[in-house]
Amino acid sequence: MGTLALKLDSDAVGVETTDLMLRIVLADGRELAVPLEWFPRLRDATPEQRSHWRSIGGRQGIHWPDVDEDTAVATLLRAG
C-alpha cells in the first residue's frame, strides 16, 4: 500500500483585498484569508494602493510599497 505525501508550498502567488479581508493564494493551492483590520495601513489605503504589492523574501512575504506595509506568510499561517 502506498502513502500519500503532500508537498506544501507556502510561497505567495496571489494577493487580493476587499474592504474587510486580505486573501493570499499560496503556490500549493491553499488560500489564506485574514481580517484587513489586522493591517491598519492596508485597511485605510485605497483599493489602488492595496492592489500594488510585490513578493519579498523569495515569495515568503508581501510588501505594499505605497503604504509601507509588509507581512510574512509564515506569520499569517501561525495566526490562522
CATH code of the domain containing 64 = 3.30.2020.40
In this structure, is residue 5 part of a structural domain? no
Per-residue pLDDT of the chain (80 residues; tens, 9 = 90+): 556 556 677 889 999 999 999 999 999 899 999 999 999 999 999 999 999 999 998 888 999 999 999 999 888 888 75
For residue 64, being part of any structural domain is answered with yes
Is 1 domain-assigned?
no
pTM assigned to the model: 0.81
**CB-CB contact of 54 with 63 (8 Å):** yes
The pLDDT value recorded for residue 3 is 60
Q: Is residue 42 part of a domain?
A: yes
How many structural domains compose the chain?
1
Range of the domain at 70: 12-79
Buried b (16+ CB within 10 A) or exposed e, 59-73: bebbebeebebebeb
